Amino acid sequence: MGQITDEENELLAPVLAQRKEDPQWIGWVSEAVSKKKTEQRIVVVGKFRVLFITLGKKDAKVVREAHYLELQEVVSKTPQTLSLAFRPFSVEIADCAADDIVSAILQSFETFFFNIPKSRRFKLVVEPESRLRPVEGPTAAALLKSCGGFSGTYQALCDFNRIPARNDIIWDMENLLPANHVTEFDMKEFEQPLTPGDFRALVEALHCSNYFRGFVAQDYKLDRDAMKIIADMLLINKSIERLHLVNVDGAAAGFEQIGQAIAKNKKAPLTSVDWSFNSIKDSGAAALGAALASLPHGLVLLNLDHGDATKKGMGVLCNSIKQNVHMARTLVTLNLAYNRLDAEGSQTLAAFLSMPNVVRDLNVAYTNSNLEHLFPALMRGSSELTLLNVAGNKITPQSAADLKKFLQSCSRLKDINFADTNLAVNIARDVLKGIITNKYFADVNLNFSGNKLGLLGANMIAGIAEELTSIEKFDLSNNELGDEGLSILAEGLCKCNCIKELNLSDNFNKGRTKLRMSALDNIIELTSSSCPIESLILSASPGFGLGPELLPFIYALATNDTLIRLDVSGHGMLDKGGVALGKALQTNRTLQALYWDNNGTQLAGLVGFKIGLERNNVLITMPLPILDISQALKVQSSEQSKIHSTVTAISEALGRNQNPKSKFSMDGVSHLISFTGAGEREELNKLRFRIKAAGTNTDAAGQRALKDAEENDTYITALHEIQSEMQQALDDEVASRLGKFAGELVPFLVNTHLQLSERLVAGIDKNYKSIGPDTKSKLRADLDALARQSVDKDQISKILALSAAQQITSQLAKSFVRSVETASDTVFDSLLDSLEDIYYGAKPSSSSTSSSSYHSQPAPSHEPAPSSVADIGSSEAAVVATRIPSEEDVGQAEEPVSEPEEPIPIPERPAAPPRKQPPAPPSRSISGPVAGMGAMPNPGGKPPAPAGFKKPTPSGSNIGGPSNPSGGSGGPTAIGSGGFQLPGMGRGGAPPVALNRPPRQSPTGPPPGGQQGEPPHGGAPPPRGPGFGGNLKPPPPAGGPRGAPPDSDSSATPASPHRMPVPVRPRQSPTAPPPGGGGGGGGGGGSGSDSEQQKGGGDDDSAGTIKTHLTKDRPMGAAGRRR
């Protein structure tokens, strides 16, 4: 026995360096190579192995070696002898420092395998035991730094498996995971790919780890060997509580092994098992069931979704859940979807659910469950249930009665999924009635998708929509509602005041119908009604896309102020869809999430969308339309660089909106002026033009109102400039005040750091007696200097200015914008009321025909036919005579708009009798097919139809023309339940009829030059168009006149996208009709029977029925003009 010399160390160094060994003990020993022969060896006790080395003249050679995990027995009966038994070999040594060697081996073993069970440790025999020296494992600080010693164990196992340890994994284990308190061992946490050796070393290191509380492998393929390694780990581990193996493509035999390992580990602390999206089959389900029955505690979560088990395996599992008495008190989430329960499994599951339990989330979707067993069981024992998913299981009339009772009795249910349950309309009605009558329901998520409710279901839901008060999310997708059903449903849901998220996907007819535009009109109206919809899903599967027909809805987003999330994917709108979305985003200030992929968008559409998004600062969530982009790159290969730059610009605009520092940093104030304000501005201009074109004489107050209206654009811009100035002043002042605050904050921060230094030194002084006062004094000085240098006033000021100041000013900017909007609303309302008083209160000019003359006698044949204005809010209507203006009349306008309209002579306001207290008038709601765009949203909601009013239905014929009350299209159309003609708006966006056209026939005779219903002198038919209220019409789709097909080449001049007609508002006594008789129909004033007056005039146009409601008073403020 002897010490190692320097020359010998030089020979040993290459061998130790090659094996990266750090010797814990090294020395000469005598090894017995036979019963009579011994040889001198050098023994090296390293970190992970024991080496036996011989020395030559020029080098060293390793004779044998073994890892500590191969060590089976250590025996030492004297201080000079030692026997080591490894699995590969055994060795007897003498003339050695046995106590030193044993201590070194024990220290290394305890450092890396301190948590290994005693049954798996080597046997130690030392005589006498007093020779054993105390050995300490890693300190608590070291364990905390290395995930409970995991990194050291991993390195030891890598050495055992003869694979190199990955430094990135070691660094993560010693830095990232402890710093973030990660206690879930996720295989995706490490850089991929992992070799089989890496996987084995990592998982085997969990054998003796008590740091990690969960093992997760999601979307990570595990072969048979990997499953066996996991099973071996679970057989020993005592800390894993969450075992989540999701979509790992493991074999059923592997899950069976894991189940058996859990059953054998009596101290397994499992509380959460997620084996979803794996084919565990009956064998895996039965093995897990046996393990659950033997657990000394219950699970909190059990998820076997898409497990492909049959009633045999599910029966064993459900019976085990019932047998474990702890499950009823612990199991919160139970997901057995896509496993077959059938009648036997359903009955076993119902037996568990009928006992008092704490299950909150129950998912038995597509399990072929017998719901006649399930619903009564839920009613008896599952009082804590918040989620119920029975999708894909047939709800029979026998189970419907129990379902209704259950819905009426439960108190916590929030999420109900009845998708694909063959839900009959009467059962669906019972479900809704059960929800309505249960006062405990609130914010319910209800899924009726895929049930073929059809038109009857749409009528049913619309009929009780007003009673729905607790449904927050409603999924009606893929229910074959059709265009007509969607129209009825949307109209009915306008009365619902609770739905915030609505899914209507895959419900339009696959072929175009005449009610397509009516359905879109009512959906637009729904989004602007009192129904608080924030999220609308209108995505389309193949065959259900609307193509460019959806554009009217897209353009209507420009004025929508309720939708926060919208999905219009899959409609194939092509480039026009992208351009329309871009235009809508320029003025929409509420939409935050948008999904619009799979619309066939190419470069032109992406560019149009980019322009709009760059002018929008609200949209923050929008997955890039990857399908469209990839297709565009293939089809437009020559434009790839432009497509890349456009997509990059879109991504940058989204990033800007997601950054609160830049959200309100857009230059100028134009983006703060809403599109609704632009519409009111246009309304003012048109009303002012009509007043001047009619030659109305006004008093001084009226002149002032007209002057204010002329300068309104300048004044409104000045209001926004004031806001901008105040915003800048706010930014400067907040930054200044926070800068001053930084001067007060820095001394406090320095003082706090000095207190830390003082306490650190005090702690060292208390615990470390060997450290002298000089060292502690120097340490205190160093810590104090570090404390004073760590805080920089300029840096603190910069942090406050960039973060706190931006957050504060951004929040105030929103309030500033609302204040300017309120002020603008007040200005617009006041000016509109003043100009309406002038317009409706003025005498008709000399060139206009008195309205009384039309009521005293029939108009001669050479005079223009009158146009009646039907006030649906009363039983009779005021008649407004329409005059065709001459070119001189049009030239009298001082400031004509882009497309001047025909001035309408002003009727005499009838003298009102002594005023009585009038009943509350219905709010104005004017909607109709806007030449290929559909009705615009109705501010304030859609009022109920007055008594006696019968809604006309489209029949494909023209009803109630003035020259033929029973039908035909000759002559102008009356405002009423039929159509309303404004000058300049012909059918389908045709140009206005020439101003010098021949006069039309009187209401009593046929039109000259043709048969009834034909245009006079073979000219164009009299122009017709939709009625208008105070709502702004969105711009028409690009590519042609309003109403023309998207790709048509029409020579007609397109109607201006910003035309705003003057609202027709007859002012009259609420108790007396206007002179000239009633007649709410489309016939001549005062003529026709009551039934004819109720029918009104209008035609089909395959765009729904025009509906017009006029009231005496115009709504005021933000409540009247919805932003």
* Cα 18 to Cα 164: distance, rounded to the nearest angstrom: 12
Amino acid 711: pLDDT: 83
pTM of the model: 0.64
For residue 660, what pLDDT is reported?
59
- pLDDT value at residue 661: 54
DSSP H helical ranges for 768-895: 773-790, 793-799, 806-841, 851-856, 887-891
Question: What pLDDT is recorded for position 820?
Answer: 81
pLDDT score recorded for residue 842: 57
Report how far Cα 154 is from the mean position of its chain's Cα atoms. Answer: 42
Task: Name the token pair of 354.
Answer: 């009928």
| CA atoms of 624 and 607, how far apart (whole Å) | 13
- What's the pLDDT score for residue 677? 53
Distance from the first to the final alpha carbon of the chain: 96
CA angle 190, 193, 195 (to 5 degrees): 100
- Quick one: which of 148, 151, 221, 214 has its CA closest to 185? 214
Give the helix/strand (H/E) hosting 745.
helix 712-767
Low-confidence ranges of the chain (pLDDT < 70): 1-2, 660-682, 801-803, 806, 842-1123
Mapped onto helix, strand or coil, the DSSP state of residue 887 is helix
**pLDDT value of residue 834:** 86
DSSP, residue by residue, 29-48:
EEEESSSS-EEEEEEEE-SS
Please tell me the number of Cα atoms within 13 Å of 596 on its side-chain side: 26
Which segments of 855-944 are extended strands (E)? Answer: 867-869, 878-880, 925-927
Query: Which tokens sit at 935?
Result: 């009705």
Residue 107, SS3 per DSSP: helix
CA quadruple 487, 492, 495, 498: dihedral positive or negative? negative
Q: For the residues of 1062-1121, what is the DSSP string, one character each?
A: PP------TTSPPTT----SSSSTT-S-HHHHHH--B--TTS---EEE--SS---HHHHS
Alpha-helix residue ranges (DSSP H) falling in 274-310: 281-294
**Can you say how many angstroms the Cα of residue 905 is from the centroid of all Cα atoms in its chain?**
52
Largest separation between any pair of C-alpha atoms in the chain: 146
- The angle, 0 to 180 degrees and rounded to 10, between the axes of the packed helices 603-614 and 640-658 is 30
